[in-house]
Amino acid sequence: MFNRLSDIPRVAATLPAVALLVVAGTGSVQAQQSDNSSAALEEVIVTAQKRAESMQTVPIAISALSSESLELRGIDSPEGLQFSVPNLNLGQQAGNGWTNIVATIRGVGTVNALLDPGVPMHVDGHYMQSTAILARNFLDVERVEVLRGPQGTLYGRNAIGGSINVITKRPSESLEGAFSVDLGSFDKRAVQAVISGPLSDRLRGRLSVSDEKRDGYVRNLSNRGASSYVNADYTTIRAALDYDLTDDVTVQFSAYYYDSFANSISFRRFNEYPPLGESFSADFYVINGAGTNPTVSDRHTVKLNNPGETQDEAVGLSMDVIWELGDMEIRSMTSYNDSQTTRWADLDASDVLSVTTYTDLPMETFTQELQFLFQNDGAVSGQAGLFYYYQDSPLFTEFANDNTVANLYDQTTPKSLFQETYSWEVKSLGVYGQIEYAFSDKLELAIGGRYTKDSKDQLSISGGNFGGTLDLETVVVDRSWEQFTYRAALNYQASDDAMLYASYATGYKAGGIFILSAYDPEYVNAFELGLKSDLLDGRMRLNVAAFHSDYEDKQERIRLLDEGVLTPGGMIQNVPNTVIRGVEMEGQALVSDRFSIDASLTWQDSEYDGLIIQDSLGVDGLQDITGNKLPNSAEWQAHIGLQYETDLDSRGTLQWRADMSYMGEREGGIHNYDFSTVPSYQWMNARLVWESQDQAWRADLYVKNVLDEVALTGRSKSSSDEFGYPDLGDFLPPRTYGLKLTRHF
């Protein structure tokens, strides 16, 4: 292992050495290999800079996966991306239970699923504040691009850690379609159907539908809640129309609908229920007869009295107008999204009559973007644009306590401990531009900047009774911020098959309002060195990036004592200084015409500086967290995939693929308590695919989590008091398997 501070210069210094070996050896090695085979890795085309270009010529650390790659790796939802993409952690927030995706890249993301993401998701170029539609499956997706490092110049809207871009399939020129049935463990029943083709000479359409039902894989031993949790019952519909208004103007229309109902778990409690007298919360559990906690011995068994019902419904519309004017292209991009989430959650993680919560969150968002893109065969190309965003999202949440100790005034009627009603109005305006200038065939400079202005208004009505009369307080808070950020990148084509680049970028994530108080924006200065190379006559690809990021006022969620009372939900505070540094390597190789390998390796180091905080219950006093690591930021992360194809002549083809991933040990919170560490784990998926000779029929036999690993995704315990505050977290699914049959036409 590397020493946290002293070894980073040595690790980063290997990049020039690797680059020198790659550049110097490319010609001679390829000359030796050129006669062995004509096969080569496919060129990967991405739109990371708003235009189609080879991934190997873009001075950004990018991982791109096509629809075929996603399916062969068993990645059918965003959560699976973290097993193939360096420095990406993706899932639901531990202790939250929302269906929204919580993503972190290089240790940077969001501190709460309800707040602004530090790694936003874009679908077909449109910013998505609510990602519920993507939480379950990648329906009819063309490819996924993961951009690492600050992307605020071109993507804005808080892309301080990076961006996840999902590109869906557009209508086809000829009639085509597919129908699939997927049956698997936990009584999984899923169907998908797609049809696409021309509707007239100028109009093309595409319709895709997905429906899945599956029993929960977490068994409940209590007869007062659901029989099982983490089930699936959802429907997704996506429609697209492309209309050629003229030979130069195309209108692209997209719509989606998503509906999901599940018995979800906000978290699982890992430690035993406290004995009588250990703490105030201990009296809750013992008096109400909680007994022992089954999750301690079996991570996929719980004892809950709350059904954990979560309902998601979302609809979205978008329209792009694309006007091609020779070397220039003008795009108008408009989107509207309307979503609604309601949930019941068991906050005490037991079957005692204690704390439950009900939450209702509707959200409406509107975006409008105008893009101007210029590109020709000359030395200058670039893009510029205007961006507007509006969000309206009222939130109601109620914490109720059914416990006889808490309900001192009436021991027979559940009482509302705390109510919160929020109304958020968010507006954001951005003006941006980037220009690329080629000094020669080998050397190019890109410079870009973005001006952003954000405003947030919050009306909140909150309070509690704790067994008495409900006492509500109304607070109105409004804040606004503005910032100019920029990026400069220099790339050098050292040979026909190797490019070196260096970039410096500043980033900005808007401040906000949370639990009646405002917090400041966070900022970053990020430096990156990179190498992109194709070796062995195109049979091997090696990309390397080393980065160093200095964050100022990084936003973190902290539970605090306010005049002796624990703040519900915690507070958002700004950490004065945070440093994140690391090295990422990705590679692919065609060992033969039938056998290929892809792999990645990541090393990362992070630390806070300059923040003194207090634990949730105040038993540890004030703590200086200088030197602590960031939560959910593994020092080591690795992946290797093996793929082999066999030709069965007239009987078709047979492919098998195995993926093994390693996620290193992570911290569960900013306190870095030993008992809140998230252990490392290994994750393995395997797939066997048969396809008929005419490619009309396909059968996929798959196993996910082959090793049946108990993989903890996150952890939350913000006090060293053994019993006063529960040890909470959640897990990835156990081993699952299934058979998917597909008919193409």
Mean pLDDT confidence for 524-549: 96
**CB atoms closer than 10 angstroms to residue 56:** 17
Taking the C-alpha atoms of residue 530 and residue 547, their distance in angstroms, rounded to an integer, is 9
The answer to whether residue 2 is domain-embedded is: no
The answer to whether residue 1 is domain-embedded is: no
CA atoms within 13 A on the CB side of 135: 27
The answer to whether residue 553 is domain-embedded is: yes
The answer to whether residue 676 is domain-embedded is: yes
Residue located via tokens 């989107």: 335
Query: Does the pLDDT at position 132 exceed 80?
Result: no
Cβ neighbours for 498, distance < 8 A, ≥ 6 positions apart: 19, 22, 23, 26, 531, 532, 533, 534
The answer to whether residue 127 is domain-embedded is: yes
Contact 580, 604 (CB under 8 A): yes
Q: Is 555 helix (H, G, I), strand (E, B) or coil?
A: strand
Residue 675 identity (one-letter amino acid): F
**Looking at residue 266, what is its pLDDT?**
62
Mean pLDDT confidence for 509-519: 80
* pLDDT bucket at 671, cuts 50 / 70 / 90: confident
CA distances from 649 to 37, 207, 654, 690, 692 (A): 21, 34, 10, 12, 10
Of residues 704 and 360, more confidently modeled: 704
CA distances from 246 to 67, 332, 369 (A): 30, 16, 22
Closest Cα to residue 60, out of 166, 146, 156? Answer: 146
**Looking at residue 37, what is its pLDDT?**
53
Burial of 551 (0-12, 13-18, 19+ CB in 10 A): buried
Please give the residue range of the domain that contains residue 291: 8-744
* 149 backbone φψ class: left, alpha, beta (φ>0; ψ -120 to 50): left
The answer to whether residue 672 is domain-embedded is: yes
CA atoms within 13 A on the CB side of 233: 12
The answer to whether residue 490 is domain-embedded is: yes
Taking the C-alpha atoms of residue 639 and residue 13, their distance in angstroms, rounded to an integer, is 23
How long is the chain? 745
Burial of 368 (0-12, 13-18, 19+ CB in 10 A): middle
Query: Does the pLDDT at position 29 exceed 70?
Result: no
pLDDT digits (tens, 9 = 90+) for 558-614: 755 444 444 444 678 888 899 999 999 999 999 999 999 999 999 999 999 877 776
Burial of 26 (0-12, 13-18, 19+ CB in 10 A): buried
CATH number of the domain encompassing residue 102: 2.40.170.20
Taking the C-alpha atoms of residue 704 and residue 311, their distance in angstroms, rounded to an integer, is 26
**For the chain, what is the mean pLDDT?**
84
**Looking at residue 32, what is its pLDDT?**
45
DSSP notation for 636-678: EEEEEEEEEEEE-GGG-EEEEEEEEEEE--EESSTT--GGGEE
Backbone angles phi, psi at 14, to 5 degrees: -70, -20
**Looking at residue 335, what is its pLDDT?**
97
* pLDDT bucket at 229, cuts 50 / 70 / 90: confident
Sign, CA dihedral 348-349-351-357, equals positive
* pLDDT bucket at 94, cuts 50 / 70 / 90: very low
Query: Does the pLDDT at position 401 exceed 70?
Result: no
Taking the C-alpha atoms of residue 284 and residue 278, their distance in angstroms, rounded to an integer, is 11
**CB atoms closer than 10 angstroms to residue 234:** 22
The answer to whether residue 3 is domain-embedded is: no
pLDDT digits (tens, 9 = 90+) for 102-123: 788 998 887 666 678 889 999 9
| Count: domains in the chain | 1
* pLDDT bucket at 226, cuts 50 / 70 / 90: confident
Q: Is 483 helix (H, G, I), strand (E, B) or coil?
A: strand
Of residues 130 and 523, more confidently modeled: 523
Contact 273, 285 (CB under 8 A): yes
Contact 138, 76 (CB under 8 A): yes
pLDDT digits (tens, 9 = 90+) for 289-311: 567 788 777 888 888 877 778 88
Of residues 739 and 225, more confidently modeled: 739
* 701 backbone φψ class: left, alpha, beta (φ>0; ψ -120 to 50): beta
Of residues 417 and 583, more confidently modeled: 583
Taking the C-alpha atoms of residue 416 and residue 350, their distance in angstroms, rounded to an integer, is 19
* pLDDT bucket at 275, cuts 50 / 70 / 90: low
Mean pLDDT confidence for 331-354: 84
Q: Is 9 helix (H, G, I), strand (E, B) or coil?
A: helix
Contact 21, 27 (CB under 8 A): no
**Looking at residue 620, what is its pLDDT?**
62
Taking the C-alpha atoms of residue 632 and residue 714, their distance in angstroms, rounded to an integer, is 7
CA distances from 228 to 79, 168, 231, 261, 341 (A): 21, 33, 7, 14, 21
Of residues 136 and 505, more confidently modeled: 505
Burial of 473 (0-12, 13-18, 19+ CB in 10 A): exposed
**Looking at residue 365, what is its pLDDT?**
95
**Percentage of residues in the chain with pLDDT exceeding 70?**
80
